[in-house]
């Protein structure tokens, strides 16, 4: 019970949800108040039914914006942690043509609407590049989503000299990407890289020779699950 209580205390709401939660909460409150006024003398059960649905709907939206406080306690040297909660859907060598223009190992994590939507830096280092690209909103698990959907690209150089590319990808439902990374700034694993509203996908491009420590279908916890170990230079 004590462990459960500590976990609850470490969960907060992400500030990206403030406006959505405020507007939706106020709208539902006004709607239900008006419905109560109309139904109080004839069919109060209608009000109670709608109020119950409203509470459930609002709870689901609150769940979307939960933001656990997490701290990685392992060795960060050459360590690559998951940038997001979700499921590993791709592990393969691909041509990366936006920044590297060569072959890279890509690990993709798909975020469902029930996952935490905050994104963490997968490695420590210095942010070398941040780019946002407008695009389509295909389903995030499709291969073409990586290059054709709306997306943000962040390149990080580790203290050992490796360059890692992280790509936040919008999907059919998730249509707002927020990226906090700034070019020239230092970054650490425990910091938020950004936020994707209502799920989607995060791709990480790693040097060939990287040791993969995850597998297809594996569930990941952002800022906790080690997905790879960078090669010795």
Whether the per-residue pLDDT at 74 is higher than 50: the answer is: yes
- pLDDT confidence tier of residue 6, bands split at 50, 70 and 90: very low
Whether the per-residue pLDDT at 137 is higher than 80: the answer is: no
- Across the range 126-143, mean pLDDT stands at 81
Q: What angle do CA 26, 32, 33 make, to 5 degrees?
A: 90
Name 4's Cβ contacts closer than 8 Å, sequence gap at least 6: none
> Considering only 29-38, 98-107, 132-141, which range has the smallest mean pLDDT?
132-141
Query: For the chain, how far is it from start to end, CA to CA, in angstroms?
Result: 46
Q: What is the DSSP letter of 144?
A: T
Share of the chain above pLDDT 90, in %: 47
Name 38's Cβ contacts closer than 8 Å, sequence gap at least 6: none
Secondary structure (3-state) at 7: helix
Mean pLDDT of the chain: 84
- pLDDT confidence tier of residue 204, bands split at 50, 70 and 90: very high
Q: What's the predicted TM-score (pTM) here?
A: 0.79
Share of the chain above pLDDT 70, in %: 84
Handedness of CA 81, 86, 88, 89 (dihedral sign): negative
Q: Which residues are catalytic?
A: 200
- Across the range 6-10, mean pLDDT stands at 39
> Considering only 12-16, 130-134, 137-141, 209-213, which range has the smallest mean pLDDT?
12-16
The pLDDT score that the predictor gives to residue 11 is 46
């Amino acid at each position: 019970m004590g462990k459960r209580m500590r976990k609850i205390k470490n969960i907060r709401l992400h500030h990206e949800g403030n406006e959505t939660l405020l507007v939706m909460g106020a709208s539902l409150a006004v709607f239900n108040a008006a419905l109560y006024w109309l139904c109080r003398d004839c069919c109060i059960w209608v009000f109670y039914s709608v109020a119950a649905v409203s509470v459930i709907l609002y709870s689901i939206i609150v769940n979307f914006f939960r933001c656990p406080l997490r701290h990685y306690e392992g060795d960060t040297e050459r360590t690559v942690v998951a940038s997001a909660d979700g499921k590993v859907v791709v592990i393969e060598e691909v041509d990366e043509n936006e920044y590297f223009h060569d072959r890279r190992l890509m690990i993709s994590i798909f975020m469902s609407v029930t996952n935490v939507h905050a994104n963490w830096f997968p490695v420590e280092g210095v942010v070398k590049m941040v780019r946002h690209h407008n695009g389509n909103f295909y389903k995030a698990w499709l291969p073409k989503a990586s290059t054709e959907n709306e997306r943000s690209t962040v390149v990080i150089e580790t203290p050992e000299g490796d360059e890692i590319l992280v790509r936040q990808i919008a999907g059919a439902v998730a249509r707002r990407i927020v990226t906090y990374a700034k070019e020239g700034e230092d970054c650490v694993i425990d910091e938020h890289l950004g936020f994707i509203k209502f799920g989607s996908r995060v791709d990480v491009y790693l040097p060939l020779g990287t040791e993969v420590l995850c597998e297809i279908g594996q569930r990941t916890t952002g800022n906790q699950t080690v997905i790879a170990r960078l090669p010795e230079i």
